[in-house]
């Protein structure tokens, strides 16, 4: 099974599953957000990569739901690994993207849910439970819901790098050479901002910013943003213009022209 063979009834059902999963994750994550009993374990021997009760509870609840409604689909999750697919479809889950922000009480973390076939992700949800915003793209849908109602997603038409609004999560992006490449783009952009995690990709899809450049990402970090941004008219590749992969390098742009300009500067 792949995106091309899905009939209308199946497409509608998959959209409903994606929204149901986001609803489930909202309940689990909000139970722990700004909760004084929240504790974080460190996954790394050196450095700091936190995981909390909220991460584990949310992913467990999502896996339990999929076991009931899509038990033959595969699962790839950040906290509990992978389950093989019997259908050709795989749900890719990051229960909390931005755990550092979550444990700090900031509202820029999110829940990422994507559905992929052999060609990559084609349905994605970026959900921010505390604000109550949801960005969904794929299978003919591209919309955001939240305090301001429902709005159609659509990326900006900025083509001049000098007018672009650029985001990344960490100022020390990637390796020293990756940071140097990023700084070349930042030096030409109109504005550079930091620290938004997945929320920056949602802002790009909604037409508020123009570029997100990152390094060191995993599949569960970027699958949902790829689907949402592509549904909104944007472009997401690695720094060489290929499919995001093992390098973890991501260049997300509002349109192909801006993407080409940023990629040229990234690569010197």
Numbered ranges of CATH 3.40.190.80 in the chain: 161-266
Q: What contacts 50, CB < 8 A, 6 or more positions away? A: 40, 41, 42, 43, 99, 100, 103
238-260: pLDDT as tens digits: 999 999 998 999 999 999 999 99
Tokens in use for 114? 């994507």
31-54: pLDDT as tens digits: 999 999 999 988 887 788 889 999
Tokens in use for 13? 């059902």
Cα separation, 232 vs 254, whole angstroms? 9
Q: What's the pTM?
A: 0.96
Residue 258, pLDDT score: 98
Mean pLDDT, range 90-98, rounded to an integer = 98
pLDDT of 161 above 90: yes
Residue 117, pLDDT score: 98
Burial class (CB in 10 A: 0-12, 13-18, 19+), 165: buried
Residue 44, pLDDT score: 81
Report domain 161-266's class: alpha beta
Cα-flanking dihedrals φ and ψ of residue 104, to 5°? -90, -5
Tokens in use for 147? 């305090």
Q: Are 265 and 185 in contact (CB under 8 A)?
A: yes
pLDDT of 84 above 90: yes
In angstroms, how far is the first alpha carbon of the chain from the final one? 41
Q: If one looks up domain 3-152 in CATH, what number appears?
A: 3.30.540.10
pLDDT of 137 above 90: yes
Numbered ranges of CATH 3.30.540.10 in the chain: 3-152
In whole angstroms, how far apart are CA 223 and each of 198, 217, 218?
11, 10, 9
pLDDT band at 70 (very low <50, low <70, confident <90, very high): very high
Mean pLDDT, range 221-241, rounded to an integer = 98
């Amino acid at each position: 099974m792949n995106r091309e063979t899905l009939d209308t009834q199946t497409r509608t059902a998959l959209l409903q599953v994606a929204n149901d999963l986001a609803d489930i994750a909202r309940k689990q994550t909000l139970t722990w957000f700004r909760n004084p009993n929240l504790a974080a374990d460190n996954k790394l021997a050196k450095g700091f990569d936190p995981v909390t009760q909220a991460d584990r509870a949310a992913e467990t609840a999502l896996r339990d739901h999929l076991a009931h409604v899509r038990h033959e689909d595969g699962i790839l999750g950040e906290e509990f690994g992978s389950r093989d697919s019997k259908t050709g479809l795989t749900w890719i889950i990051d229960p909390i993207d931005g755990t550092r922000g979550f444990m700090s009480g900031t509202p820029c973390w999110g829940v990422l849910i994507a559905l992929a076939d052999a060609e990559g992700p084609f349905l994605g949800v970026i959900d921010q439970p505390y604000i109550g915003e949801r960005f969904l793209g794929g299978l003919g849908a591209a919309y955001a819901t939240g305090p301001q109602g429902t709005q159609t997603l659509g990326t900006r038409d900025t083509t001049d790098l000098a007018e672009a609004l650029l985001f990344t999560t960490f100022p020390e992006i990637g390796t020293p050479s990756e940071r140097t490449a990023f700084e070349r783009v930042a030096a030409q952009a109109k504005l550079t901002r930091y620290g938004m995690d997945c929320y920056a990709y949602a802002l790009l899809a909604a037409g508020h910013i123009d570029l997100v450049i990152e390094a060191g990402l995993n599949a569960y970090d970027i699958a949902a943003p790829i689907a949402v941004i592509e549904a909104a008219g944007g472009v997401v590749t690695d720094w060489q213009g290929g499919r995001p992969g093992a390098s973890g390098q991501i260049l997300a742009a509002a349109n192909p022209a801006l993407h080409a300009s940023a990629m040229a500067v990234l690569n010197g």
